[in-house]
Amino acid sequence: MQVEGSHPVIVTEADPILLKAANVNKIYGRARVLRDVALEVGSGEICGLVGQNGAGKSTLIKVLAGLVEPEDGAVVTVGGHPLGLGDPRASYAMGLRFVHQRLGLVSQFTASENIGVGTGFVRRLGQINWSSQDKKVQNLIDRVGMPVDIRRPVGELKAVERTAVAIARALDESSGEVRLLVLDEPTSALPGREVEHLFAVLRGLSASGIGIVYVSHRLGEITSLCGTVTVLRDGQVVANLSGNDIKRSSLIEHMLGEDASIMRRETTEASDADASADAEPPATAPGTGTAPGTGTAPGATGAATRPPSATQPVLRLVGLHSGTLNGVDIDLHPGEIVGVAGLNGSGREDILRAVGSVGGAGSKEMWIDGELVPKPDPSILRSLGVVLVLGNRDGRTGIGGFTAAENLFLEGRHRAGRSRVVHPRAERSAALGHMEEFDVRPRNPDLRFTEFSGGNQQKLMLAKWLSVASPKVAVIDEPTLGVDVGSREVIFRIVRRYAQHGLAVLVASSDLDDLIAMCSRTIVLGGGSIIGEVERSEMNERVITAVMTRRELLDEVTTGGS
């Protein structure tokens, strides 16, 4: 049943329940990440799934996808039939499809190849029929409604085009009917006009009877798109909302619990203070941040990064922009580890690209050791002692076919004496030393990069850029993405040790534990700008989350909570 207004689809009592989950629990060690979770989604319904970081959203999605097996007693049915838990094939066979935040595309493959690998190729006489395969994929892309060159490697496509390819792959019905589509933060890399286009696609799919679970931190998207919303907090369902009850104020109240009233009062007070300050002259010169010795309260709007001392910053960025970033200023001092936090789409994901000035992005001004860098790019930055360490997304941090030693010394092979000839023994010996320092296992420099686990690949790249390159500044993106617990602790210890010896570090992470474990202060982004800063003495998950969420609260105060 279609309901007029901003909430498109609500299931009536006569409509069948497409997906029903009950008594879903999951325990990791001593941590209970899901507690008796229940979820219902009707045919043609768009159901929002919201909660703070760590609320259990991702784990619940993995349960539905068969990637995580819940504790005994969980019951999940699709169309009234039980779903085999812990089995991705069973989930797929029941018509459940997933578009994960990281998309799961092979960057070197075309759209046609990615979809073929995911759902099967069109074949004739045992061989791939490429003309028919391309035609099928083009039809899927047309259904999504986003123009994409299906013969171009997806790594060369725009973010919105890659998202379209992932959705098209999920809609391929050559291996069975698609009944439920789950999207995890699908708009994190999309500009506003493309978000509206995606919404039109999703509404069309729901009108055709496909159930949709939509996961997003962007509450405005939830209120405009979803007919029902399930709210998770600390692994539990704390609310099920529908229709006109879906308001930003209600979502925040349920997501934050008892913290909501405190944050609302602080936000109102800050908003009043900002209004009063509008009539007063600024206390400091434009672009210099807060006055020396003055702190920035968590959640304060417009906060600039504050140097820990009067020493000259080793790296100064003025007007940093790329993607959603919009004029961010950052000062970084020797021995300092500065974190960058923010919800998906806040600009956090664009930090490394912006600092590296890739594709025309960058800053209006970049200063290194007090000297202006006219036209920074990754190679120029490396020559000036600034390295960019990419998070291990899609295994793109190293060259898979190269050995560990070759990856370590790719930027400047280890050379002995003045002959400038590569000495394999010297290179191998040096590689062993770096692998031991960074606890890379197995300790074999001759293994190909792909033969190491994700955590050890990440440690190899940190060894390459922190130890081999010997920089003065390291900009690190998602340092523990896909890394096991043991490797995480090693990475934390290594980064802290290098900072103690004078390395300046800027680290952007979606995992707040990374920032809490390493950083001397953390700047928080929202809407492409700095919306707050958290000092070491105040740094914990609740405080950082409060600052990240404050933008929504401020919207609520200024709009009256509608």
pLDDT surpassing 50 at residue 279: no
pLDDT surpassing 90 at residue 504: yes
> Which pLDDT belongs to residue 356?
82
Token pair recorded at residue 512: 């707040």
Kindly state the DSSP code that residue 463 receives in the 8-state scheme. I
**Strand, helix or coil at 541?**
helix
| Lowest-confidence region among 76-80, 233-237, 264-268, 494-498 | 264-268
Rounded mean pLDDT of 481-510? 85
What is the rounded CA–CA span in Å between residue 465 and residue 456? 14
What is the rounded CA–CA span in Å between residue 449 and residue 277? 55
Q: pLDDT tens across 302-351, in order?
A: 333 333 444 689 999 998 887 778 889 999 999 999 999 987 778 888 88
Token pair recorded at residue 96: 């459940």
pLDDT category, 271, cuts 50, 70, 90? Answer: very low
Which strands form 17-28's sheet, in the order they lie side by side?
Answer: 31-42, 17-28, 75-78, 81-82
Query: Which residues, other chains included, contact 499 with Cβ-Cβ below 8 Å and sequence gap of 6+?
Result: 335, 336, 337, 505
> Which pLDDT belongs to residue 264?
54
> Which pLDDT belongs to residue 188?
64
> Which pLDDT belongs to residue 484?
60
Average pLDDT of the residues of the chain: 79
More confident site: 176 or 452: 452
Token pair recorded at residue 373: 């860098």
Q: pLDDT tens across 120-155, in order?
A: 788 888 888 888 888 888 888 888 777 888 888 888
Tallying the residues shown for the chain, one arrives at 562
Examine residue 8 and say whether the peptide bond preceding it is cis (omega within 30 degrees of 0).
no
> Which pLDDT belongs to residue 96?
93
Q: pLDDT tens across 155-205, in order?
A: 878 777 888 888 888 888 776 788 999 998 887 656 566 778 788 888 988
Which amino acid appears at position 192 of this protein?
Answer: G
Rounded mean pLDDT of 247-253? 84
pLDDT surpassing 70 at residue 286: no
> How buried is 3 (Cβ within 10 angstroms: 0-12 exposed, 13-18 middle, 19+ buried)?
middle
| Lowest-confidence region among 148-152, 378-382, 408-412 | 408-412
pLDDT surpassing 80 at residue 393: no
Task: Look at the alpha carbons of 513, 510, 290, 282 in this order and tell me if their dihedral is positive or negative.
Answer: negative
What is the rounded CA–CA span in Å between residue 393 and residue 362? 21
Task: Give counts: helices (H), strands (E), the chain.
Answer: 17, 22
| Lowest-confidence region among 209-218, 288-297, 460-469 | 288-297
pLDDT surpassing 90 at residue 426: no
> Which pLDDT belongs to residue 8?
42
Where does 388-484 have alpha helices with state H? 404-408, 424-437, 454-462
Residue whose pair of structure tokens reads 């609260």 in the numeric block: 553
Highest mean pLDDT among 81-85, 97-101, 276-280: 81-85
